[in-house]
Structure 1
């Protein structure tokens, strides 16, 4: 049922006031302008009704990013004690058309909080991610669901399946880190060692993919594992036919670690690697590698 089908004879629409001399007046669609006129009128008297609910749907059809409309829709839904599972269906249809609409994802979060039921949410986000595995809004929402409802148990398995499909899925690597370090159950050192091995196995599939390199460095930063565990791997991919700048960059980290521990013979190797990166293998970050070279040279 469209909002025009309701009786609006008791309500005078309020036109948008752009001031006497608007500099850049927006040419709104006439249907949208009409619907907004009625919305201003009902919002002024805080009307929560079926016609008001239908009106919000019409406005969302034209402008799905209108935060005020979503908020008002929530108030109507709760006031009329509407079936919120039907609202989840409505949201799903909206997501199919606007999968990266922040206001839409926030609205779903509000509804799920009200329901106190997350039974549909992991499968819902999985469906969205199947269409776009790097949808930031879907990942952020999924993380909220997991943390709020303590759904940690199967997340590593979910991420592993995604990485089997696409080892370059940086969002999945980020989620793997989240699943380990934001989990209330802290990982053991033995588990983290296996995660480093897992990351190394993925580097071997795509040594120029920065995600597993960063993932392993993140693991090392949160554990007692030393970065030197990557030294042989880095040397392999710094001498092969296809040299990985990520391997060379990791070698700089390793050599700097050695120098800080008193192995000064590694300083020259580190400086040479910085020069190699700056001048040949990672020239876009030349200033950064020159800075790292300066840092190495200054270590006493």
Structure 2
């Protein structure tokens, strides 16, 4: 098999095996035991075998020392996803009462090299919790998101820090900048809703956000994220899509102007189904809305979302079943 280790290149050329270091001569390395008949023999590099053999040895004796701490650093270079390495490193940090500011500096460098590694982000969170100091987290996550605006781990860490330490104050401004740079950044739209959800919705905020998202949709109609954001906003009120007349007018204006994005049509289908039953319950003629729902479903199935044509046929049939169920209920 080929060498599974991809991190040897991170070591300096003059790096010395632990087996050749005089200060480690008192430690007997503990080799990995794969049993008598391993199914697959992994061809670890000499460096990998060396580091982890010494790590197993110090862990077996529960040595908590400065040299053991440095050893975990080499082990993390070789495999940053190894949970045991990070947990043992945390045990050593506590035992030595180490400078946690230095640890934040260290783990920041590791995160920059491994931005999509769960274990390094988890280690960062634990250290911040120990310090009870999130002052560097927004800057760190912003720098990582500048590298990849949709890095799930960075967003998760940012949301954790914001929620845990009440850092909401400037987050909407930050998110607005991200959305302005890329209106298709679904992570930024999700973050905007996250902030609003935790800071509270009221009438003024809903009105502001509805206008905000409608203006964004006007710029890019075929963009799923703001349509989902709009639905989420409307669910904060009475749960009805038609509760804000300006939203109804906005969607119908888009449709009448020739816009046929599947996100608009899907919104209108739900909107007209809702208005059908409102009209029916108010004793008005709902036939116009019934026709619109079926026509839009057919349009989705045959032109605008053909890959899910069965789904849209099902939605149309389900709408008919709801109508028949209401008729039967009223008739009984």
For the superposition of Structure 1 and Structure 2, which TM-score range results when normalised by the shorter chain? over 0.9
Between the aligned partners of 2:263 and 2:166, the Cα distance in structure 1 is 35
Say yes or no: does 1:201 pair with 2:201.
no
Distance 1:231 1:6, change over 3 A: farther
Residue of structure 1 in register with 2:35 after alignment:
19
Does residue 238 (structure 1) correspond to residue 258 (structure 2)? The answer is no
Query: Paired residue for 2:241, among 227, 234, 237?
Result: 227
Q: Does 2:305 correspond to 1:282?
A: yes
Aligned to 2:204: 190
Aligned residues: 298
TM-score (norm 1): 0.95
Tell me, yes or no, if the aligned pair for 1:189 and 1:224 is still in contact at 8 Å: no
Aligned to 1:131: 147
Label 1:231 to 1:65 Cα distance change in 2 as closer, same or farther (>3 A). Answer: same
User: 2:17–2:50: 8 Å Cα contact kept in structure 1?
Assistant: no
Correspondence 1:58-69 to 2 at 5 A: 58-69=74-85
Large movers: runs of 4+ above 4 Å: 239-242
Note the residue ranges of structure 2 that are not aligned, 5 or more in a row: 1-14, 324-332
Deviation string 1:91-133 (CA, Å, 9 cap, x unpaired) is: 1111111110100000000000011111111111111111111
C-alpha RMSD of matched pairs (Å): 1.6
Contact preservation (8 Å) 2:201, 2:236? no
Distance of 1:82 and 1:14 partners within structure 2: 27
Q: CA deviation at 1:242?
A: 5.0
Instruction: Find the structure with the greater CA-based Rg.
Output: 2
1:241 Cα shift? Answer: 4.9
Report the TM-score, using the length of structure 2 for normalisation.
0.86
Residues 72/95 of structure 1: CA separation in 2 closer, same or farther (3 Å cut): same
Question: What SS does structure 2 have at the residue aligned with 1:114?
Answer: helix
CA contact (8 A) 2:240 2:274 kept: no
1:138 is displaced (CA, Å) by 0.4
Residue pairs, 1:62-211, within 5 angstroms: 62-183=78-199, 186-211=200-225
2:3 maps to none
Moved more, 289-298 or 225-234: 225-234
Which deviations, in whole Å up to 9, do the C-alpha atoms of 1:62-86 show, x marking residues without a partner? 1110111011101111111111111
Segments of structure 1 that go 5 or more residues without pairing to the other structure are none
1:299 offset after TM fit, Å? 2.0
1:272 Cα deviation from its structure 2 partner: 1.1
